[in-house]
Chain A
């Protein structure tokens, strides 16, 4: 049974615990990297590696929950698993609401820990795939002209070429040309597929001014 590829980033101020955890994970096939404080982790500049963050709550300086917030602002997608010696329910609720993958308490049983790590790794892999897809879509959207983007946003409302022409005050024929370009640049063959891609990157349909 082999561990999933990725690095476990351990952030804990207790040197002896840090060392024991690194040892345990390494003998179980994980790659680890340890940090003695939240600040040390932020300074390392590590953002979106494959893996997860195993985070203590109470630490001198920036605490675990604060680090989680800081990471959220930087659009870090690495899942965060909290591992604390003195967790309580309000704290765990706060952590989970802020997007933590799991909330474990010390001492932690190895099976529980490995289970949580596996889940987090998978989650991260999924998120990373999603992000790759999103990045591809965004790159394509970038190639559209202003007018083509307008046409695209109207297409998302399900309007016909004629209606779009009316809205944008251009000829229906011209709309048809733009539409062909959009489909080509976005690499899709159907409007349904186009809608799915746009949903992935959050492009909103246009507001039609004329009521049918």
Chain B
């Protein structure tokens, strides 16, 4: 995930990022050092982490969710450093598996290496969670956070399974089915990242539930942004080219008349087979059918739900919640800035 420069509305949290940045990066390196025996695997994972995750913590993004959620609850975010490190490691693992599933890894040897690295990162993330006692968390807190971690990962795997099954059977998902998959694949993980931060801060149940809902909406927004980019960003070779079912395509099939559905299917088929001439026609057809408008409307609805959840937490915790967590909405879905919302 690319972050954003700490300017404009993000400026007030610049000091927080600056305060934790170094320790955050160090904690991720420590997780690899302590979790993996010296040797080629450790070296490989270190390279992955240095190129991806360490650079990622230099800027604000969803990688900061546990720390920001903890700070929003009025507790020093350094308590969550092992949790935040586990969160970064699992994001990297999920990204690696996504690349494999999307066929971006090329040769079999590279594919096998990637799967093995992802499996190792899953384990390192779990081991790292256990070290949270060093930052003052009680065993009961760690157990609860770890338990929720397992459930979030299982939910994400279940969502990914549904997505992959739809690819295999070439079935068409309804928008509701797309939402259920997005909520499981991405929403459950981001919800955990926020909830883990609130649990580390010892927040009350109502706050945990409200901020958890915020995380869920943020995860769905991430999937919406991903689908938007894949469909319409110039030069993108993403899910649309691979023939995967993005929300714009699900929407289009849902609202299409028979003749439109047939034309859509022909264009998708051509796109899957590498016909670049079909790309522009397909993108325009989706726009003409209202897929951009629909996707933005869904995104606005998720944003409104996320803001309502933040408001509920704000009534108990104060404005800090808005200050620290609201900017993440625009980080995840930058087009909101252009809508003037």
A and B interact physically: no
Give the A-binding residues of B (Cβ under 8 A): none
